[in-house]
Copies of this chain bind each other. A is one copy, B any other.
Amino acid sequence: MKAQLPRWAFLFPGPATLPLTDPAMTIRHFLNTQDWSRPDLDALLAQAHVFKRERLGDQLRGKSIALVFFNPSMRTRTSFELGAFHLGGHAVVLQPGKDAWPIEFDLGTVMDGEAEEHVAEVARVLGRYVDLIGVRAFPKFVDWSVDREDRVLRSFARYSPVPVINMETITHPCQELAHVMALQEHFGNPGAPATDLRGRKFVLTWTYHPKPLNTAVANSALTIATRMGMDVTLLCPTPEYVLDRRYMEWAERNAGESGGSLRVSHDIEGSYAGADVVYAKSWGALPYFGNWAPEKPIRDRYRHFIVDEQKMALTNDAVFSHCLPLRRNVKATDAVMDSPRCIAIEEAENRLHVQKAIMATLAGS
């Protein structure tokens, strides 16, 4: 179906929406859930539920994955590394610019700067050693029109002879599946992968954080919640905190196809009212991207977006989650985090299971 006209203004003067995947790609990567069909995503989730019941397998026996971290990680690294181990494989952890060489991504450059190596060689050589490549590369937070091209991830996908997995760049698709899996566990029978989430009221609420953070998890939350047919509210302080047009359009299209809905709201009480799921995330407003000084006082005015018991009391006994790491008493109160309605730990655990499903699927056969 055609993308609908957005019902909100885009305050970021960015370029038109670009596809994030190269149509010429013949290798199947896991760059965004949006590239995958709903049945294929459901199959990944079904496999993840199986792995949660039975940890060990031999789907990756003798196989390996390179985990390329341009940014630090705790959960991502641990869950990928152990996931590979559980299935008989091995993960190699690389940190370019730290314990490996800095890398060039532009084509045709005369490489007389800092970078000692081009991604073409990095990806091609790694692809000779391993069966899968995971890439974590956050934005540089200088120019969103550059960062939104997801250049590092796409460069690896372009040159790699083996499948590439997004370990968080400007989206975080592994987190998406882990979140959906936790919701399926909560709303369905235990371990029931087919649990239908359609019609659930899902609130993605912006929260305060002292720094302007990446929009990746927010982009991903909108994308997957609409994909699953939920009625999604993006709650944020002002129109400036609306997400990039690409993800708003994905969410619009998804809602249209799945029978869900998408709206933007700046009204806290109205958004929480009757919610089944409250998902929290902080991010910097795109119109101030790379010029954060004037955004800081705006952000500071909205500390009251913190998820607390008063707000949660407005919901339909909603579950609360967050991708972690979470600053307690800044993004959510201790009471919310320690409540039995908090499924953030379950979601974090599910990273292990969904990533094993992704690795086993991509490296299989």
Contacts of A125 in B (CB 8 A): 75, 324, 345, 348-349
- A contacts with B, residue count (CB < 8 A): 62
Q: When the two chains form their complex, are residues B334 and A129 in contact, meaning their CB atoms are under 8 A apart?
A: no
Q: When the two chains form their complex, are residues B210 and A122 in contact, meaning their CB atoms are under 8 A apart?
A: no
Q: Name A99's contact: one of B90, B95, B330 (CB within 8 Å).
A: B95
Contacts of A126 in B (CB 8 A): 78
A81 within 8 A of B: yes
Contacts of A16 in B (CB 8 A): none
Q: When the two chains form their complex, are residues B86 and A74 in contact, meaning their CB atoms are under 8 A apart?
A: no
Say which one of A102-110, A193-201, A238-246, A262-270 lies at the interface with B.
A102-110
Contacts of A120 in B (CB 8 A): 328, 337-338
How many copies of this kind of chain does the complex include?
3
The answer to whether residues A328 and B112 also contact, given A78-B66, A95-B99, A96-B74 and a CB cut-off of 8 A, is no
The answer to whether residues A352 and B82 also contact, given A69-B99, A326-B117, A330-B111 and a CB cut-off of 8 A, is no
Tell me the minimal C-beta distance from A164 to chain B in angstroms: 16
Inter-chain pairs besides A72-B98, A72-B99, A124-B345, 14 sampled, C-beta below 8 Å: A55-B62, A77-B94, A77-B100, A78-B126, A81-B90, A104-B328, A107-B334, A109-B328, A110-B329, A112-B210, A117-B324, A121-B324, A125-B345, A129-B349
